[in-house]
Amino acid sequence: MSKFCMRRHYVGMIASVATVLMASQVLAAGTGSHGHGGAMMTGQPAKASAADRTVTVTMHDNYYEPENLSFKEGETVHIIVKNEGSFVHEFNIATAAMHKAHAPEMMMMVEHGVLEPDKINWDAAKKMQASMGHGMHNEPNSVLLEPGKSGEIVWTFPAHADLEFACNIPGHYDAGMVGNIKLTR
């Protein structure tokens, strides 16, 4: 698929889900947080030396492998994330409401040219950061990766949380890039 066709496909996908995203944003607006942060609900960052184990998650276009994850409450995990898809993808640990509330930021990044179908435009990110105070995120519960790239998160999971991992790039969550995180005692 040519870059032009990929871009047209990507923009069409964004337009087709915009209405759904806007409706979910209205519902999530009262949550007071978004897909980044919320450590009390989602856990907290940790050092790799504190990790109890390492887990690898592979991102493909429209799904993760494995599709769901299971950790012990309080467990510290080193998560290696690989993007084997053709598009830019995100791995973000949050609640469903936080993912929905984070959608407007990700949509702004697309609208300002920061997120292109198959790459991150760092010049556009710098311009958006300078003009709006937001252009790229660097949060401990999230990695945003171009095709072929890898990243990592070291995370201590909380007790009694209802968590997901998801890609919040417009259209990706709705296309199936979401998985459950089961916490056990």
pLDDT band at 35 (very low <50, low <70, confident <90, very high): very low
Query: According to the model, what pLDDT value does residue 135 have?
Result: 65
Q: Average pLDDT, stretch 29-57?
A: 73
Q: What is the DSSP string of 89-137?
A: EEEEEE-HHHHHHHHHHHHHHHHTTSB-SS-B-HHHHHHHHHHHS-S--
pLDDT per residue as tens digits for the range 62-88:
999 999 999 999 999 999 999 999 999
**Whether residue 45 has pLDDT greater than 90:** yes
Rg for the chain (alpha carbons), in Å? 16
- CA torsion through residues 159, 56, 144, 17, sign: negative
What is the C-alpha separation between 134 and 108, in angstroms, rounded? 9
User: Alpha-carbon distance 75 to 20, whole Å?
Assistant: 35
In this prediction, residue 133 has a pLDDT band, given cuts at 50, 70 and 90, of: confident
Q: What is the mean pLDDT of residues 95-124?
A: 94
The tally of CA atoms less than 13 A away on the side-chain side of residue 111 is 10
Specify whether the CB–CB gap between 88 and 147 falls below 8 A: yes
